[in-house]
Amino acid sequence: MNFDGSAVITAVTAVMSLSSGAVVLYQRATAADLRLLIEQTRNAIIEHINGKYVRKEQCPFRDETVNALLDLLQKDKGIS
């Protein structure tokens, strides 16, 4: 079988196009996975911080609740 140069170049170009398309799809999928992982990590950090610390504007409500609980405990134990 006799191949001329243009057929070989066309075949190589087609293979390169297909492989570059596959690389682009893989890169997009990897970037999407990375964005999802970053968002999940960000949400976990925010949830951890929100569960651990009290915001300044919430302090009076928290203080009232803690004081009420302490008063209940004192009354229950008979401590004045």
Distance CA 13, CA 55 (A): 61
The fraction of the chain above a pLDDT of 70, given in percent, is 95
Q: Does residue 55 sit in helix, strand or coil?
A: coil
User: pLDDT averaged over the chain?
Assistant: 86
pLDDT tens digits, one per residue of 55-76: 777 788 888 888 999 999 988 8
What are 49's two structure tokens?
A: 């911080």
What sign results for the dihedral spanned by CA atoms 43, 49, 54, 57?
Answer: negative
pTM of structure: 0.48
- Give residue for tokens 């390169």: 16
Distance CA 79, CA 8 (A): 95
Which helix (H) or strand (E) element contains residue 1?
none
Average pLDDT over residues 13-22: 90
